[in-house]
Amino acid sequence: MRTLKKWENNKVDSINRMEARADYKSYVGRSEYETKTKTGRYYENLNGEWDFLFLDAPEYSPGDFYKTACDVSQWDKIQVPGNWQRQGYGEMHYSDLWYNFPIIPPYVPTENPTGIYRKTFELHSIQAEQQYILRFQGVDSAFEVYLNDQSIGYSKGARIQSEFDLTDYLIEGVNTLTVRVFQWSDGTYLEDQDMWWLSGIFRDVDITTRPKEGLYDFAIRTYFDQNFESATLTVNPTFTQQSNQTITYELMDCDGNRLFKEAEKGEKSFIKTVEEPQKWSAEHPYLYELLMTVEKDGQVIEVVNQKVGFRQIEVQGNCFLVNGVAIKLKGMNRHDYSPTEGRVTSKESIENDIVLMKQHNINAIRTAHYPNSPYFYDLCDTYGMYVIDETDLECHGFELTEDYKWISDNPEWEEAHVNRIKRTIQRDKNHPCIIMWSLGNESAFGHNFRKMAEYAKETDPTRLVHYEGDFEAEVSDVYTTMYTWLERTDDKLTMDKVITNTKKPHILCEYAHAMGNGPGNLKEYQDIFYKYDHIQGGFIWEWFDHGIETVTEDGETYYKYGGDFGDDPNNGNFCIDGMLMPDRTPSTSLIEYKKVIEPIETKSIDKAAGLYKLTNRLDFNSLADYQLIIRFYEDDQLIEERQADIPETPARGTAMIRINYPAIDFKAGAMYTVHFVYQLNDEKMWAQQGFEVTRSVFTWRKENRQPAVTDNQASKLTIDEDTAFVTIVGEQFSVRFDKIKGKLLQAYYHNEEVIEKGPEMNFWRAPIDNDMYILEDYRKKYFMHLPHESIRKVECEVNDEAFEMRVNSFYGTTNSAWYYELDYKYVVNKFGKISYCINGIASGRKKLAPPMLPRLGVSLRLSKDFDAVSWRGLGPLENYSDSRQAAYPGVFTSTVDELFVNYVKPQENGNHMDCDWVGFSNNDKTLLVKTDEEFDYSVSRYESEDLEKAKHTIDLKERDYLVLNIDACQNGLGSNSCGQDQLDKYRCKFEDFSLQFSILLEETKGKNISELARKK
């Protein structure tokens, strides 16, 4: 029979670990509680510097490693909390689903990196009536604890609290604590989450005390009557020593007013009716404070406080309700992450996350895929976040064994599974923010999940059980799916099937994979959530890009991902999939999501009459927290600003608002927009008064351009022509063409080269992460990156007023029988204006064409000095056909560098849609590109191939010119790195197209570019 090492024994979840219990503070008395400065009890924070010995395997440990006499003078120093891979030990490794060793559960490799931690602390006196508790909030993956030469215990479950009783092992004076941590254990088979493999003591470590005759644990629950008017508060206390204690319960509101004060025997549950309490929700996170004063024989043993939120969760029909309402989850999956520290997060960083989420209208968090530090839940209670609290459990690598449920359906692993949900529930049970217990993630389904659900429902029937791997929702109270498509051509699951067939509430626990430039289609999902009561929202994957901050010798910062540390196998940049960049910069997608889940939706009903409809998208609150500022613009000039009353609008209600437009003289060529800007009336915990929660912008009038006033005295054109080239020379400008290739080569104004390469047809864009599954076809089947043009005819005409060149050609790719027949025309007039138009007819064997093209348009090269950019169209941020809700029409100014979106892995970025002009300025001159129609544009210092070849931002080298793309169409973004590809309506297809624009260099010193652009 094979011998199991301790860290390979799946039947041993712990040794001498204390029973899981709620996380709370115990104070000596009322005065200590009221000052909140100290509990009045012994407390030792063990965070900081520890002695550290790193070994290739546990068996290499010195024989006396746990003894006080062990010589640690040659050991290193390490910071706790910390992951040892981020402090120079072991290897960094990222993978999505692979285990880093053979799958032979419960065995792990002999080479098992091991860290031995040691720290001393001093105890001046030991109080006999106190229990001394050593508490670890997170240790990856299994660990042993020793104190003063004695074995204290052992624990697994990397991301949940472990407590040990030190009482009988402490000495007065200096105590020596030793912790031996194993990177791999049988627990690793349950911890195969999509993230960096990181090890060590990565969360807080401390020693605290509790009175032996005090509370060991307690469970708080609230229940409403059927009208949600009065509520019943229950408290179930637990003592380890019953000795006729009494508990005095006091409930205070947030202003310190006492609602009741009543005593009850310690062995009894406390039950109290509270009339019309304020209800807790993410929109109104009202918290009461419950004080529990434990006494014996008239003497106070301790005072314990706990925040209480009155709320009730239940299922009715095919909806789940919070306080009687089928809420909508506007959620986010969140990992613990730091670009420098790995999985080490502070309370401050977590609070920053929650504040930023609130500022972006997010109301829910799934703790993907493990419980968080205790203060995370305190913050969610306080700020108002619905939480799906997920068990530290994922067995994703078994999917590749053809037996996904290998251990999930094996009763030998039952205890290992059930203990994880047990410890999660027992620690976190008193937090109103938690609405569901999640059994884990991507681990198939079977016996052990049934047992986990059974435990959860018996232990806490006041919350729902969630597990996406339960595909038939056998035990899950909600039918949950991930990355369910909106449309597809095969028979796999789509949202319309979910809508029709599900008998339980539905949520998307993951959707809209936010990898690189994307995701698209957010609005389409949200429209479904709003339309159907039982489709109750979802959670974006995910919050952070998990890049590892790295600084070059030149001081340039970039972010590493899978494979950059020699890790093999790896999933590359699949960890760069968040709406927040590693440096905490919100990506375009986060701004887009904020708009899509806005609390107030505004639609025009009769724009000419100034009639608009407001929809309150909140579940509980009216719009009383907001003020409406209406601004009127003429292009980029503010005409008028006024504050308007928001009609009284209850939750989920609608109201009409009518506005009067300013009485002004309209100017030819100008665009007039009205901005509905919704701001906070008052300061909130998460934002200042006046913070903008959403904005809706409408074009209420657009005037035709006025004819340009020209100087008819301009010199006549002169022509310099040979068999291959022709140069058109006018007053202070010249334009050169290649007649063989039918191309504009250069354009000079005032002897300065402004256009370094004229417009050329272009299919290609630098691939985005969401193109990953079509990229091979693009390159190896359709050869989209290898275009060829066959010129069939070039005709030139010239007179004193203008030069005209007409070109007919075929344009296709290597070995492709589908192609465009192109007709394009250049006109250069005597004032130096270059007009260009191109018409493409989809030709050849069309059925062989790809289902979508990256783009349809032209590319030009401009002088790099013209890097100040103005445009009229959608802005201010980048926008695409399926990601444009946060963009709005107007006139915007920026620079080429500011327009570049610095994705961790370079890719297509910076597009702007619906433009009718764009200007590129260099001090007092502007190259103005105008159209009578609309186009997309983007401008960059890099060619598409530069972005495509670059693995990181530091690989990019600026060109000595600007690359301007003007497109009739660009493909949408989709979310196909994991999920829905581009919807049919957002695809750039192989179809006929046309594109036209003009280019003219204007003297703009002291002039308004918008006014110049209004002329034809």
Tell me, yes or no, if 442 is annotated catalytic.
Answer: yes
**C-alpha neighbours within 13 Å on the C-beta side of residue 263:** 10
Distance CA 17, CA 463 (A): 27
- The number of beta carbons lying within 10 Å of the beta carbon of residue 321 is 17
Q: Which of 32, 163, 295, 510 is catalytic?
A: 510
**C-alpha neighbours within 13 Å on the C-beta side of residue 761:** 30
Contact assessment for residue 958 and residue 776, using Cβ atoms and an 8 Å cutoff: no
- The number of beta carbons lying within 10 Å of the beta carbon of residue 658 is 11
Contact assessment for residue 966 and residue 857, using Cβ atoms and an 8 Å cutoff: yes
Angle CA 947–949–955, to nearest 5: 75
Beta-carbon contacts of residue 574 (< 8 Å; ≥ 6 apart): 94, 96, 194, 515, 561, 562, 977
Tokens of 85: 């891979």
Distance CA 426, CA 424 (A): 6
Tokens of 857: 């348009």
Angstrom CA distances, 484 to 467, 499, 518, 924, stand at 15, 11, 17, 53
Distance of CA 865 to the CA centre of its chain: 36
Place of tokens 């064409």: 849
3 state DSSP class of 528: helix
For 287-353, the three-class secondary structure string (H helix, E strand, C coil) is CEEEEEEEEECCEEEEEEEEEECECCEEEECCEEEECCECCCEEEEECCCCECCCECCCCHHHHHHH
Strands 548-551 and 94-95: unpaired
Number of residues that this document lists for the chain: 1016
Strands 557-560 and 548-551: antiparallel
3 state DSSP class of 501: helix
Q: Which of 250, 341, 351, 442 is catalytic?
A: 442
Contact assessment for residue 409 and residue 450, using Cβ atoms and an 8 Å cutoff: no
Angle CA 935–936–937, to nearest 5: 115
Contact assessment for residue 439 and residue 455, using Cβ atoms and an 8 Å cutoff: no
Position 818, amino acid: W
Angle between helices 347-359 and 374-383 (to 10 degrees): 30
Distance CA 220, CA 231 (A): 13
Contact assessment for residue 332 and residue 539, using Cβ atoms and an 8 Å cutoff: yes
Tell me, yes or no, if 510 is annotated catalytic.
Answer: yes
- The number of beta carbons lying within 10 Å of the beta carbon of residue 579 is 27
Residue 688 per-residue DSSP state: -
Angle between helices 414-428 and 374-383 (to 10 degrees): 50
Strands 743-749 and 752-762: antiparallel
Contact assessment for residue 467 and residue 438, using Cβ atoms and an 8 Å cutoff: yes
Distance CA 450, CA 322 (A): 25
Strands 888-895 and 195-196: unpaired
- The number of beta carbons lying within 10 Å of the beta carbon of residue 503 is 10
Distance CA 571, CA 884 (A): 30
Angle between helices 414-428 and 447-459 (to 10 degrees): 30
Residues catalogued as catalytic: 442, 510
